[in-house]
Amino acid sequence: MAYSNSGSYTTGNSTKSEAQVCLKFPPKVSSPGLMALWSAKGQNKGKLRMLMEYSGPRLQIQMVVTFVLTQAIHSVLKHLRLPMFISQILAGMILGPMVFKGKSSLITSSDQSVAVLGTVGAIGYMFFLFLSGVKMDVGMTFRSGKKVICIGVLTVVVPLMACLITANSLSQESQFFTNKRVFLAVTYSATSFPVIHCLLSELKLLNSELGRLGLSAALIGEIVALFLLTICQWVVDGLENGWKVVVSNFGFFTVYFVIVVFWFRPVMKWMVRKTPEGGQIKNSYLYIVIGAFLVSHKLAELLKVYIVFAPFLVGLAVPDGPPLGSALVEKLEPIVEGLFMPLFVTTCGMRIDFSYLKNYGSFAKDQVISAVVTNFVKFGVSFLLPFLWNIPIRDSLAFAFIMLNKGIVEMAAYSFMNDTLVISQDMFAFVTIIVILIASIVPILVKTLYDPSSKHVRYLKKSIMDCKLNDELRIIGCIHVPANVNSIIDILNASCPTRQSPIALSVLHLIKLSGRATPLFIAHEKQSKSPSNNSYSENVVLAFNRFERDNWGAVSVKSFTAVSPPNLMHEDICNLVMDQFTSFLMLPFHRRRHVDGSIESEDQTVRRLNFNILQKPPCSVGILVEGQRHVKCINSRDHMHDQYPLANSSTYTIAMIFMGGKDDWEALALAKRMSRDKSVKLTVIQFKAVDGFQDDDGDRMMDKQLLRNVKENTSITYIEKEVKDGPETLTYLRSIVDDYKLFIVGRRYKREDPQTVGLHEWSEFQDIGIIGELLSSPDFGGKHSVLIVRHQ
């Protein structure tokens, strides 16, 4: 049995086109199997063609072909710095009617086969809109400054007015407002937050200054565009169907809004309150939220709410961040981003057919001109506003291109209008060309114009050696877990802070961005009763505030929290180093051990972060390997017990291992500063090669001068040890390891010395160097801490 349906639409030339779709009932879903098809007799069709009549295996084959073709195209285009979005569109164009015009293929064997693939992709797009709403922080609009709000509003409103005026001047229609014209004008001028976020994420600019400005402006622009679209649609309905229809639609929309905001959101907040702090939310709660999202589609249809608004508004109602928002993103994003969205973008590309451009209508021509004018106006406004506020011209140009970017949201809007016959095929071909061109050019231009790491080159070199003993020492301590606090405070106590030689400490708590799209950088105010409204880093801030009170006048503490993607955390650290004119940066080692030497935790994200910092250190860097000892957790209510081991001990023994070179110079400068404390006993151990191997003359002269100063200092113990190879160095270190609580060594990356010959082949962690790795090994007992220093 076949069912036929036809539809028509009017193009710019007022000609009608009809489309017929034939569907077979009952549909064939599951195949009887390859063996059954192969043994079938009396069939003239090919075996594979017979298999493709069943929607189940056909969908699987379509997915495989789509992904293989997309990855093949992207393996070539990625060298041109083109995004994956372009590869997916091109894959769809290859599989669509442009190549198989008038023919059938495995992918487009029938309208029904394409419809099944398109339905799967459309479901994925609904989930994409839902997750986009979940990751949005609407409260960010209220925290944005006046300049950001001005940019977000004007970059939408001004292009929209330019588009409407241009379209009206070109069109011969008497009516200024039409549903089609308004919808297209808003789509041309809108700023899509998911598209901007995707661009900045691919370019690794999310937490750069320009990236934060772009995200804030895009969020405001998204809200303004949705508001304008709703208002314009109501105005058009009022002009075409009467204002009673507008009142009715407004009432339905209000009902939907009340259900989502004043019933569904409180229920989700109750779920969050029922979840223990730091714990995982129940799976049953997640299923309830996902079920409500799926029902919202039907509810929006019943209440005559624009169907695309439904999942987005439900996502906005979900409390962002942990535990609910982050759990939804972690569970849904892999399958949505990895499976559904590539299929959706590819099906959008399959709709494109440039052959319709041969006979384009007047309406399509007028709209293309309007779209081009809108983009030029949007680019001009996006460039002028930041430039007038003293942002450099290259950064202003990059920002303008960011705000101009087009992507999956625009492609989805045009495909929806094409499917519902709002726009003709020639019009659809024109607007997709604009989307593809902009999406291809913008990433390349932004990457060329804006490089946030370039400002690190202009940064004034600062190190511990450059600081006089009585100068203020500016230090940044990075915290990943609460247990890092004790070890950093130990080092600070040993650094001899006094009123005459103070320490300016900046504490940076690094938190993985989860469940939200916008990175956060919070400067905690000491005057506030709570460190932040969201209790970010509360325990860490309280611990260091207490440390500051205990060392009043000698230590000043500023606390910060950075919530960002792990691969971009080093940008937050480098920016803070420059802002605070820091001389020394302390990073925790990625591996922690129990007292018995077993591994307590190992975070490869922290290891990659440390390695990124060491590649281009913004200042002198120290990686702290904590000793294997019981460390009590921080308790914000009871403060901390046994918080400062150094303060409780009569003598704190430190050994500095010296072999020469810039890293060792910096390590020695830090050790000498610590030795000023009477409770600190410093021993400098120099390993000399028996064969008399020497570095270049400059390094050798500096080594001798520094060691001469050490020998003249009566408060420092100097030991000179001659060794012939690495095993002899290892034996000596093993003999003294229990005599000291802290070892300070230079990283000495890729330095070949007779003192370490034979040890490099056993090296596992390049970020702490061979000597640092030996001393932090559990074979050495591990009750001591090790600080590995790398010069700027």
Give yes or no for residue 366 having a pLDDT over 80: yes
Give yes or no for residue 84 having a pLDDT over 80: yes
Query: Stretch 690-714: mean pLDDT, rounded?
Result: 74
Give yes or no for residue 745 having a pLDDT over 80: yes
pLDDT at 4: 42
Residue 245: closest CA among 235, 255, 254: 235
pLDDT tier for residue 570 given thresholds of 50, 70 and 90: confident
pLDDT at 6: 42
pTM of this prediction exceeds 0.95: no
Find the range with the poorest average confidence among 642-651, 663-672, 775-784. Answer: 642-651
Query: Stretch 492-513: mean pLDDT, rounded?
Result: 84
pLDDT tier for residue 235 given thresholds of 50, 70 and 90: confident
pLDDT at 13: 40
Residue 482: closest CA among 321, 278, 207: 278
Q: Report all structural domains of the chain as residue ranges with CATH numbers, in order of start.
A: 111-450 (1.20.1530.20), 454-526+538-624 (3.40.50.620), 627-631+650-791 (3.40.50.620)
Give yes or no for residue 373 having a pLDDT over 90: yes
pLDDT at 707: 85
pLDDT at 634: 37
- As a three-state string, the secondary structure of 237-279 is HHHHHCHHHHHHHHHHHHHHHHHHHHHHHHHHHHHHHHCCCCC
Residue 700 or 619, more confident: 619
Query: Stretch 602-624: mean pLDDT, rounded?
Result: 86
Helices (H), 103-205: 111-135, 139-143, 146-170, 179-189, 193-202
d(CA 155, CA 404): 9
Show Cβ contacts of residue 763 under 8 Å, excluding neighbours closer than 6 positions: 770, 773
pLDDT tens, residue by residue, 21-70: 566 665 666 665 655 555 555 454 555 565 666 767 778 888 888 899 99
d(CA 209, CA 214): 9
Burial of residue 607 (CB within 10 Å: 0-12, 13-18, 19+) is middle
Residue 61: closest CA among 99, 109, 96, 18: 109
pLDDT tier for residue 106 given thresholds of 50, 70 and 90: low
pLDDT tens, residue by residue, 196-222: 999 998 888 888 888 888 888 998 988
pLDDT at 8: 43
pLDDT at 107: 56
pLDDT tier for residue 471 given thresholds of 50, 70 and 90: confident
pLDDT tens, residue by residue, 114-169: 677 888 888 888 899 899 888 887 777 667 778 888 998 999 999 999 988 888 88
Find the range with the poorest average confidence among 29-33, 513-517, 721-725, 759-763. Answer: 29-33
pLDDT at 103: 53
Question: Across-strand partners of 789?
Answer: 622, 746
pLDDT at 691: 67
* Chain mean pLDDT for the chain: 80
d(CA 634, CA 542): 9
pLDDT at 72: 92
pLDDT at 121: 86
Give yes or no for residue 685 having a pLDDT over 50: yes
Which tokens sit at 488?
């950093």
Which tokens sit at 427?
């019009």
Q: CA angle 418-420-421, nearest 5°?
A: 65
Which tokens sit at 682?
């410093």
Find the range with the poorest average confidence among 142-151, 471-480, 748-757, 779-788. Answer: 748-757
268 touches 319 (CB < 8 A): yes
Give yes or no for residue 10 having a pLDDT over 50: no
Residue 723: closest CA among 749, 750, 765, 693: 693
Give yes or no for residue 2 having a pLDDT over 80: no
pLDDT tier for residue 628 given thresholds of 50, 70 and 90: low
Give yes or no for residue 354 having a pLDDT over 80: yes
Report CA torsion sign: 390, 392, 396, 402.
Answer: negative
Q: How big is the chain, counted in residues?
A: 792
734 touches 660 (CB < 8 A): no
pLDDT at 7: 43
pLDDT at 631: 37
pLDDT tens, residue by residue, 549-569: 888 888 888 989 998 888 888
- The residue to which tokens 């009340």 are assigned: 258
d(CA 681, CA 777): 23
Which tokens sit at 579?
């802002």
Q: CA angle 692-697-700, nearest 5°?
A: 60
Exposure pattern of 159-188 as b/e (b: 16+ CB <10 Å)? bbebbbebbeebbeeeeebeeebbbbbbbb
* H helix or E strand, kind and range, residue 2: strand 2-10
pLDDT tier for residue 379 given thresholds of 50, 70 and 90: very high
d(CA 722, CA 757): 14
What are the contacts of 542-548 at 24+ separation with CB within 8 A? Answer: 542/634, 542/636, 542/639, 543/485, 543/489, 543/634, 543/639, 543/640, 543/643, 544/485, 544/489, 544/505, 544/507, 546/639, 546/640, 546/643, 547/489, 547/492, 547/643, 547/644, 548/505
- What letter would DSSP give residue 291? H
Query: Stretch 224-233: mean pLDDT, rounded?
Result: 82
d(CA 218, CA 214): 6
Q: Cα separations (Å) of 547 from 512, 530, 550, 560, 689?
A: 26, 17, 5, 16, 43
Q: CA angle 249-254-260, nearest 5°?
A: 130
Which tokens sit at 15?
């000609």
d(CA 206, CA 523): 18
Find the range with the poorest average confidence among 90-104, 257-271, 415-429. Answer: 90-104
Give yes or no for residue 3 having a pLDDT over 50: no
In this prediction, what percent of the chain has a pLDDT beyond 70?
82
Residue 513: closest CA among 274, 265, 325: 325
In this prediction, what percent of the chain has a pLDDT beyond 90?
12
Show Cβ contacts of residue 748 under 8 Å, excluding neighbours closer than 6 positions: 659, 661, 663, 664, 769, 770, 771
Q: What share of the chain is helix, strand, coil (3-state, %, to 5)?
A: 55, 15, 30
The winner for highest mean pLDDT among 167-181, 424-438, 612-626 is 424-438
Neighbours of 613 (CB within 10 A): 23
Give yes or no for residue 630 having a pLDDT over 60: no
pLDDT at 51: 60
d(CA 382, CA 375): 10
pLDDT at 1: 43
pLDDT at 754: 75
pLDDT tier for residue 16 given thresholds of 50, 70 and 90: very low
The winner for highest mean pLDDT among 288-297, 526-535, 763-772 is 288-297
Which tokens sit at 556?
């000043």
Show Cβ contacts of residue 371 under 8 Å, excluding neighbours closer than 6 positions: 163, 184, 188, 430, 431, 434
